[in-house]
Amino acid sequence: MSATSRRKLDHILIALEDEVEGGSSTWFDEVMLIHNAISEVSPREVDTSVNFLGHELRAPIVIAGMTGGHELSLRINRVLAEAAERLGIAIGVGSQRAAIEEPKLIHTYSIVREKAPTTFVIANIGAAQVARDYDIRSILKIIDMVKADALAIHLNLLHEILQPEGQPSFKGLIAKLKDMRSEINVPLLAKETGSGISREAALKLGEVVDAIDIGGAGGTNWALIEYKRALKVENEALAQLSKLLLTWGIPTAVSICEVRDALPAIPLIATGGIRSGLDIAKALALGADLAGVALPLLKKAYREGIEGVIKMLDQMIFELKAIMALVGASTIKELKEASIVISPRLSEWIRCRGLKRFMKYKKLYPDIVI
């Protein structure tokens, strides 16, 4: 097994067996949707379909990219892909670096397209690899491997810093993304993996990518995963640094406000700690177009297979429909336009950061808050 494949397996096993959430919060508790006592919308007639990057989805959900590169992930990817196809939602694969290094691993990723022939599939590679050894042929192979509808470049600087095997440098990344975008024929997506995206980063990314997944803090915590790995190999310096950074990052709800302030129209996915239909509804009402779920579905796929994954996603959609009825939204467009109230802590963040365009975008009261 290659070092990349081994490391990926390590991450999955820790995520499956240990507690890897906690330390930070999504801040969805700071956002309130407003109950509509005279809503004439019934959950049964709610339409959850959306169009994302030209593709119709039956619900605004993406199974966020996690696995590939070994036999365990083949099994997990098969289950997740079958669920995505059955439910008409999107799916991403994990970093495809392992298959570029070892082509015999290609099937652990291509199984996703095999099992999800009509699904919106997102290919995936790390920003560190792109920055260091960008090579358009490998990028085209990655896209072709899963016949992808979009390509995600994952921005995981915190994780690269905390892994002993990490490549903690994205030097030259933006220029390479610009070149890449002109050479590929699918949309390019920038995806954080748990530390969120700020307004300033979004403004730069907006010039070189077609869509953003904010990957905010509050869900799977890479500092916690690396803390556990560092303890196992007695790497005291990395254990201490990981512990220090357990609360690092921009919470998911906050990052949506940041990115929407910078880029009011960019297709936006909110991943990071999405655990219920209420989280999805809040993410969309704040300004996301889709919500991404990773860790809980990985666990379900591993422990319960397809039925467990479908049950969890069905429950989230059931909850989303109930919330939509309660706010009086019969479509996702109406949910995105729903009024919200934000708590003093989030208002303070918005005020400190001067997110005036977000205030306008959500029709909040700029004169009171800013």
Ligand X SMILES: Cc1cc2nc3c(=O)[nH]c(=O)nc-3n(C[C@H](O)[C@H](O)[C@H](O)COP(=O)(O)O)c2cc1C
Residues that bind ligand X (CB under 6 A): 11-12, 15, 64-66, 94-95, 124, 152, 154, 191, 193-194, 215, 219-220, 271-274, 293-295, 298
Shortest Cβ 11–ligand X spacing (Å)? 5
For ligand X, the closer CB: 66 or 350:
66
For ligand X, the closer CB: 39 or 276:
276
Shortest Cβ 28–ligand X spacing (Å)? 12
For ligand X, the closer CB: 23 or 287:
23
For ligand X, the closer CB: 155 or 327:
155
Shortest Cβ 272–ligand X spacing (Å)? 5
Q: How far, in Å, CA of 177 to CA of 69, rounded?
A: 24
For ligand X, the closer CB: 215 or 287:
215
Shortest Cβ 215–ligand X spacing (Å)? 4
For ligand X, the closer CB: 248 or 347:
248
Half-sphere exposure of 339 (CA within 13 A, CB side): 7
For ligand X, the closer CB: 10 or 114:
10
Shortest Cβ 222–ligand X spacing (Å)? 8
Within 10 Å of residue 112's Cβ, how many Cβ atoms?
A: 31
For residues 216 and 251, the answer to whether their CB atoms sit within 8 Å is yes
Shortest Cβ 44–ligand X spacing (Å)? 28
Shortest Cβ 282–ligand X spacing (Å)? 15
For residues 125 and 151, the answer to whether their CB atoms sit within 8 Å is yes
For ligand X, the closer CB: 282 or 362:
282
Shortest Cβ 344–ligand X spacing (Å)? 26
For ligand X, the closer CB: 194 or 287:
194
Shortest Cβ 333–ligand X spacing (Å)? 25
